[in-house]
């Protein structure tokens, strides 16, 4: 595979895994490693052959974590594995699946053949219907053959062809579980509503099931595929591309507030993203707490002395609690309000459903304009209606994801 083909594949399959990233071609020598940090943690270069005199460099505004660099290693390995397809009649079909191959290569503890077949089945079901409704599905993959008792003669390949496969296991309340050999192990019921899950609230049960070396896969009614392992969301296929979630690293990047607040805000951003409600959230520094009033009307401030029904209702709902103390479903409802949710550095809710004053001629929509203005007071977060998250600090993009 030459560098031009590798560049095309990286644009189609690697960059979408790191929203906000870009790709460039740099000079290289045979001494350079296939994958390496260059110019700091915000750039990682790679090449498929050490003899190449050029290399491809992925860069973005936020740093790449070691886990994200490992994903680029997986991309290189996946490209090497499919190299024999170049020039063949089936090249287009193989390369179209490269993103899936990268995911499989990254989840080393899962049976690769079973994981690949499961992902292919969910991608197929994502465009199918059952009784006139979009298909939802939940699959659980075990790393062992004997973790559950009992034997089955039904394999995954046989199961996926059955009509009932589109009904059994919805990923929210249940998973259809398979062992490492692909044999059916039963339908597993899931608890839900875990406030601390690093996963969309609706799928928190599937995330909790996927502890240790287990993997759970969920297909939502919107045709999105979510992959959970280690008890959290790791990958999601959205808008036709696979996206990687390095959640611990993301939470650490919002440095100016407490870990508990950052975690709560991040989890609620996940909920708003996958429920497609959109949202605008801000975390304000202690030094800028008094400056919120310059951007928000007094009647939208919860502490205002002016009385109105909206503020009275919100005060009753919040009950004097900080954002991180609220039930996660309540936080999701607050973010769904038209307007911004504005938090102090401790998590106190200063305003909810607030209209933010923005300069005339602002581009990019109301939520983006509001998040940019609020970022001058700390961190402004904008979740778009298609699920994308952008974080701003002092009007600069510090994170792009989802």
Percent of the chain with pLDDT over 70: 97
How many domains are contained in the chain? Answer: 3
Tokens of 69: 């660099």
The residue range of the domain holding 23 is: 3-96
Residue 204 to residues 41, 273, 301, Cα–Cα distance (Å): 32, 14, 32
DSSP annotation of 63: P
Tokens of 211: 């502890």
Q: What is the pLDDT of residues 204-233, one digit of tens each?
A: 999 999 998 899 999 999 999 999 999 999
Query: Domain end: 96, 128, 160, which one?
Result: 96
Question: Sign of torsion, CA 377 378 384 385?
Answer: negative
Residue 40 to residues 36, 58, 64, 74, 133, Cα–Cα distance (Å): 10, 12, 9, 21, 49
Query: Domain end: 247, 269, 288, which one?
Result: 247
Write down the pTM of the prediction.
0.92
One domain, residues 241 and 269: no
In a domain? residue 103 = no
In a domain? residue 349 = yes
Q: What is the pLDDT of residues 312-364, one digit of tens each?
A: 999 999 999 999 999 999 999 999 999 999 999 999 999 999 999 998 866 77
Distance in angstroms (rounded) separating the CA atoms of residues 210 and 143: 11
In a domain? residue 104 = no
One domain, residues 124 and 80: no
| pLDDT value at residue 212 | 83
One domain, residues 396 and 264: yes
Residue 255 pLDDT > 80, yes or no?
no
Query: Domain end: 72, 96, 120, which one?
Result: 96
Torsion of the alpha carbons at 159, 163, 169 and 175, rounded to the nearest 10? 10
> End-to-end distance of the chain based on CA atoms, in angstroms?
30
Specify whether the CB–CB gap between 312 and 302 falls below 8 A: no
Q: What is the pLDDT of residues 380-400, one digit of tens each?
A: 999 998 898 999 999 888 888
Q: What is the CA radius of gyration of the chain?
A: 23
One domain, residues 221 and 316: no
One domain, residues 171 and 265: no
One domain, residues 90 and 118: no
Task: Classify 400 as helix, strand or coil.
Answer: strand
Task: Classify 281 as helix, strand or coil.
Answer: strand
Question: Nearest-CA neighbor of 399 among 249, 293, 235, 234?
Answer: 249
Provide the CATH number for the domain around residue 221.
Answer: 3.40.1700.10
Distance in angstroms (rounded) separating the CA atoms of residues 400 and 253: 11
One domain, residues 75 and 197: no
In a domain? residue 159 = yes
One domain, residues 91 and 176: no
């Amino acid at each position: 595979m030459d560098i031009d083909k590798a560049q095309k594949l990286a644009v189609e399959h690697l960059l979408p895994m790191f929203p906000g990233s870009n790709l460039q071609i740099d000079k290289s020598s045979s001494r350079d490693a296939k994958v390496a940090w260059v110019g700091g943690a915000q750039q990682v270069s790679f090449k498929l052959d050490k003899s190449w005199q050029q290399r491809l460099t992925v860069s973005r505004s936020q740093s790449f974590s070691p886990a994200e660099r490992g994903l680029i290693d997986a991309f290189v390995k996946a490209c090497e594995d499919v190299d024999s397809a170049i020039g063949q009649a089936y090249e287009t079909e193989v390369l179209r699946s490269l993103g899936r191959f990268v995911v499989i290569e990254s989840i080393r503890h899962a049976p690769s053949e079973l994981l690949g077949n499961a992902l292919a089945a969910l991608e197929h079901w994502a465009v199918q219907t059952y009784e006139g409704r979009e298909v939802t599905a939940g699959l659980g993959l075990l790393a062992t053959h004997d973790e559950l008792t009992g034997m089955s003669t039904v394999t995954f390949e046989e199961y996926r062809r059955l009509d009932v496969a589109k009904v059994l296991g919805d990923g929210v309340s249940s998973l259809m579980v398979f062992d490492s050999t692909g044999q059916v192990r039963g339908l597993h019921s899931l608890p839900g509503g875990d406030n601390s899950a690093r996963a969309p609230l609706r799928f928190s049960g599937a995330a909790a099931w996927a502890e240790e070396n287990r993997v759970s896969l969920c297909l939502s009614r919107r045709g999105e595929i979510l992959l959970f392992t280690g008890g959290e969301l790791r990958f999601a296929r959205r808008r036709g591309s696979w996206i990687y979630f390095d959640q611990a690293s993301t939470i650490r990047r919002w440095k100016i507030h407490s870990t508990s607040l950052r975690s709560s805000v991040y989890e609620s951003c996940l909920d708003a993203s996958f429920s497609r409600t959109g949202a605008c959230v801000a975390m304000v520094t202690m030094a800028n707490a008094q400056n919120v009033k310059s951007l928000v009307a007094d009647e939208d401030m919860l502490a205002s002395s002016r009385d109105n029904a909206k503020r009275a209702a919100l005060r009753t709902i919040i009950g004097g609690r900080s954002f991180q103390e609220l039930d996660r479903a309540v936080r999701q409802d607050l973010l769904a309000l038209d307007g911004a949710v504005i938090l102090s550095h401790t998590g106190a809710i200063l305003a909810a459903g607030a209209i933010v004053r923005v300069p005339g001629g602002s581009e990019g929509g109301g939520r983006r304009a509001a998040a940019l203005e609020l970022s001058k007071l700390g961190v402004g977060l904008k979740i778009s209606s298609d699920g994308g998250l952008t974080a701003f600090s002092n009007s600069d993009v510090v994170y792009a994801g989802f």
